[in-house]
Amino acid sequence: MTTQKDFFSKQESISTDSSPWSSFFTRIAEQTQLAFKAYQEATSQITFDDPLNVRPAFLEFSQKAFSNPEYLFEAQKELVETQWNLWQKSVLKFFGDKPEGGQEQSQNQDKRFKDPAWSENNIFNFIKESYFITSEWLQNSVNNMDGIDPSTKKKVDFYTRQFVDAIAPTNFFATNPEVLRETIKTNGMNIIKGMENLVKDFERGNGKLRIKTVDHDHFQIGKNIASTPGKVIFQTDLMQLIQYSPKTEKVDQIPLLVVPPWINKFYIFDLSDKKSFIKWALDHGKTVFIVSWVNPDDKLSHKTFNSYMQEGIIAAIEAIIKQTGEPQINVVGYCIGGTLLAATIAYLTEKKRDLIKSATFLTTLTDFTDAGDMSVFIDDKQLDRLSKRINKQGFLDAEALNRTYSILRANDMIWSFVINNYMLGREPFPFDLLYWNDDSTHMPAEMMTFFLRSMYKENLLAKPGGIKLDGVSIDLRDVKIPVYLLSAKEDHIAPWQTCYTGTQLFKGDTRFVLAASGHVAGMLNHPSLNKYCYWTNEKLPSNSMQWFKDAKQEQGSWWNDWLSWISKHGGKQIPALDPSKGKLKPIEDAPGSYVQVKMY
């Protein structure tokens, strides 16, 4: 058992020789000076404005709070009483008593506090429980405040959660038992190594802090990641089309096209063998094609949403039809790649081009009424500021979007690495999913401005005729092909309740399936892992919570459910087609050259 003595009576384990400690503090000073210099260079041009438009939201909240002194008094009273009760119980526990009544505020599933000392050591247990009480009180103070505009409350709640995450005791040297143990164990060398890592991360970001989240040297695209054999058989300015080599003698007649989001590299579908959707689909007799989006620079700043439709999806469909001789294909779209796909299908419907037999949408928003935490970054002031920036640059740089998504999951994507890299002085692990996450793409200015305003801000895709593409007004309600909708229960980017509204938009035979876990992990659930469950319900009521109430929980991966569904739309079995022997001459081997272009 870990006791107070383990942490506060181990001075004898640290060398008292003044010479090593003199060297130690000298190195700390040197690393600190380097880090501070890099920080100064990065912040020397910063003006203290409000780029995220947070100030008005907190001002409205504060005015409302101070106009209701009774609410403030009751809230403060509740906090003081709860903290006092915790203090009394902690004192009793410290002297060996076991106080009755009450339960700890912390949840066992919070992996920030997995170290045994948080439960076994009275002092750290008190710190932890006090933190949970305070954080819960702060968030409840926001959520329980009446009379505030919903969008304002959402923004205040979001940034309050960021503050709560930032002040967690795990994020501070003196209140993290694992860091204290490591410091004693290494005679403080973890601090020196951590400062060295901090300096390197400033250097990686050219003066801005770019936290290293993965061991990049471990991965090589085309070797141990994105390694499924195939050929690039077609390309435009915006994409390369990859056809994968078949793994079975017979395949479904109807080929399959996968459309990833244009803000990420395609190999989210082709990570390790135990995560590769591509390999799995090939093993089950599919002829698989995938779009590999370009990483655009300022020369492509004029490319629009319509360009991505025409030179991306439609060009890919036409190339597949020419390559295979089949008049129709099945399509899969992921995230905003699915949003683009939905708009494209609606456009083809209005043009009476019957090119798509079925569509699968993975964690895809078609109605942006509630776009999750991303919506806090979307208001007129922020969009105007962003438009000026990206129009001047010609594109929205991938690093900016990476930072945004990191903020959405700050505990996992920021603070865990602050602890690991800077406080424990360790290197991050070679994790393929984080390597992919760190390998984003830029976005053309015209395209991204249109997408943010038309989808996130004005929600035009869900409105009949709300969007015109190539002069054609589109309506998702005119889409009558079979549709498979997959969402994830813990998705913070595309909330499943909002994804569910697609069941009311598309008018063909529609199936909705809810996977466990989040936006990426919920999708990448290889059947061999048997990691997450999923829910099904043949009925599609208008209310998402009613759907879930009547849904059946299924064990295993939703991939098997999708396989049964897609097989109904695959046609007869035909001999497999070698990508080298089709009508289109291969350009290069998969994974192609577009995917090799890094964002920095």
What is the Cα–Cα distance from 102 to 109, expressed in whole angstroms?
19
Q: Model-level pTM? A: 0.85
Q: Is the pLDDT of residue 436 over 80?
A: yes
397 band by pLDDT with thresholds 50, 70 and 90: confident
Is the pLDDT at 8 greater than 70, yes or no? Answer: no
The chain-wide mean pLDDT, for the chain, equals 87
Residues 306-333 have a mean pLDDT of: 98
Distance CA 464, CA 380 (A): 23
Q: What share of the chain in percent tops pLDDT 90?
A: 63
Catalytic status, residue 335: yes
Q: With bands split at pLDDT 50, 70 and 90, how would you rate the model's confidence at 455? A: very high
Rg of the chain taking only CA atoms, in angstroms: 27
Residue 430's pLDDT band, with cuts at 50, 70 and 90, is: very high
Highest averaged pLDDT of the listed ranges 85-89, 491-495, 560-564 = 560-564
Who wins on pLDDT, 212 or 45? 212
> Where in the sequence of the chain do the CATH 3.40.50.1820 domains occur?
230-397+430-596
- Under 8 Å CB-to-CB from 593, ≥6 apart: which residues? 232, 240
CB 579 within 8 A of CB 245: yes
Active-site residue (options: 127, 168, 335, 523)? 335
Mean per-residue pLDDT, 552-579: 96
Q: What is the mean pLDDT of residues 513-535?
A: 93
Of the pLDDT bands very low, low, confident and very high (cuts 50, 70, 90), residue 327 is very high
Q: How far is CA 588 from CA 259, 268, 456, in A?
A: 20, 21, 37
Q: Mean pLDDT lowest for which of 2-6, 119-123, 370-374, 570-574? A: 2-6
Q: Is 90 exceeded by the pLDDT of residue 193?
A: yes
Stretch 376-382: mean pLDDT: 81
Within 10 A of 114 (CB to CB), how many other CB atoms are there? 12
Q: Which CATH number fits domain 230-397+430-596: 3.90.226.10, 3.40.50.300, 3.40.50.1820, 1.20.1250.20?
A: 3.40.50.1820
Task: Quickly list H helices, 223-335.
Answer: 277-283, 305-307, 315-324
- pLDDT reading at 587 higher than 90: yes
Among residues 90, 93, 179, which one has the least CA distance to residue 127? 90
The per-residue pLDDT for 53 is 63
Q: Give the type of residue at 312.
A: G
pLDDT in tens, 247-280: 999 999 999 999 999 999 999 999 988 899 999 9
Q: Judge whether residue 421 has pLDDT over 90.
A: yes
Do 367 and 272 touch, CB atoms closer than 8 A?
no
Query: Residue 555's pLDDT is what?
Result: 94
pLDDT, average across residues 438-458: 91
* Other beta carbons less than 10 A from residue 489's beta carbon: 18
Q: How confident is the model at residue 406 (pLDDT cuts 50, 70, 90)?
A: confident
What pLDDT sits at residue 548? 98
- Calculate the alpha carbon distances from 518 to 261, 267, 416, 486, 534 in Å: 16, 18, 18, 12, 12
